[in-house]
Amino acid sequence: MACVGDNTQNPADYREFMAEPPDYVIINRRLWDDDAENWVASGERNWAREPDWGFWGIPETDLGLLPDDMTGMRAIELGCGTAYISAWMARRGAECVGIDNSARQLATAQRLAGEHGIDLALIHGNAETVPIPDETFDFAISEYGAAIWADPYVWVPEAWRLLRPGGVLVFIGAHPLKDMTQPRHGDPSVGRELLYPYFDLHRVDWSEGDEVGTVFNLTISAWMTLFDEVGFDILAYHELRHPTGGTEVVFDVTADWAHDFPAEQVWKLRKREASVSS
């Protein structure tokens, strides 16, 4: 499924890296290859609809995560899965690349791109090390892709490298409160008790039945320090809320819980322009 065209940077280094990626990349690849068939139906629905965000479908008009007109922009989706966000961006005029760790997820993306007549470049690989030159993109996005499955201390600098100065990175993932209140083994229903220390938040290894996976998150101050050190300015930070509450359960969270606490966070960042030294 590799579709990296002529822009592969140091292909020998890349092949070497991918031959021996970090353990969590291998763990998560197995998980997503095994689970890919369960994401086909939602991928088909998402390809066919207008953008909204998160567990509760917060409208794009409330969050403003995508430029209305992406004509002439180059965009990358980091951990694209079935690549419906790439489809939304392509319909707004962007030229899109999607990278994903799961060949089976990319097979769905490739099929849907064909059915919808949308041209996407899809790369099978790790979003922590993308085989594309520096400053290629105007816009980068991750919705529960690299945003949660890759190490922020690796993928955030990589996203910075890929963006031109002034380029924008948007990502959506679990809020730290969700990671502290969701049991990491067994029944993953999110509760109201703090189960894990906040200040230790980084790598989270979890299991449910036969499934094992690894996700990442940081404390809010650690995210902010990382962005500043890497060279991103924060344009917006959203903690997504269910508007009313209720008994509906989505991804182990009830609407009542998500009315009281943020289950999801959204960061919108801009790559800092190089400062002119005096």
Nearer to ligand SAM, 127 or 269 (CB): 127
Answer whether 66's CB lies under 8 Å from 91's CB.
Answer: no
Q: Considering just the CA atoms, what is the radius of gyration of the chain in Å?
A: 18
Q: How far is the CB of 146 from ligand SAM (least distance, A)?
A: 5
Q: Token match 């009315």: residue?
A: 259
Q: How far is the CB of 273 from ligand SAM (least distance, A)?
A: 28
Nearer to ligand SAM, 80 or 258 (CB): 80
Q: Number of C-alpha atoms within 13 angstroms, CB side, residue 226?
A: 20
- The single-letter DSSP state of residue 41 is H
x-or-dash string of contact with ligand SAM, 94-133, rule CB under 6 A: -----xxxx--x--------------------xxx-----
Stretch that binds ligand SAM, among 79-87, 200-208, 220-228, 254-262 (CB under 6 A): 79-87
Counting contacts by CB under 6 A, is residue 217 touching ligand SAM?
Answer: no
Give 100's strand partners: 124
Q: Helix, strand, or coil here: 149?
A: helix
Instruction: Pick the binder of ligand SAM from 55, 56, 149, 160 (CB under 6 A).
Output: 149
Contact between 88 and ligand SAM per CB under 6 A: no
Task: Report the distance separating Cα 77 and Cα 146, nearest Å.
Answer: 9
Q: Select from 231, 29, 25 the least CA-distant residue to 134.
A: 231
Of the candidates 174, 74, 89, 76, the residue with the CA atom closest to the CA atom of residue 125:
76
Site string for ligand SAM, 238-257 (x = CB under 6 A): --------------------
Near ligand SAM in 47-76, by CB under 6 A? none
| Token pair recorded at residue 72 | 């002439």
Exactly one of 89, 120, 122, 150 binds ligand SAM (CB under 6 A); which one?
150
Q: How far is the CB of 115 from ligand SAM (least distance, A)?
A: 16
Structural contact between residues 234 and 127, judged by C-beta atoms closer than 8 angstroms: no
Residues 25-44 touching ligand SAM, rule: CB under 6 A, are: 25, 28, 32, 39, 43
Q: How far is CA 270 from the centre of its chain?
A: 16
Q: Which residues bind ligand SAM (CB under 6 A)?
A: 25, 28, 32, 39, 43, 79-82, 85, 99-102, 105, 126-128, 143-146, 149-150
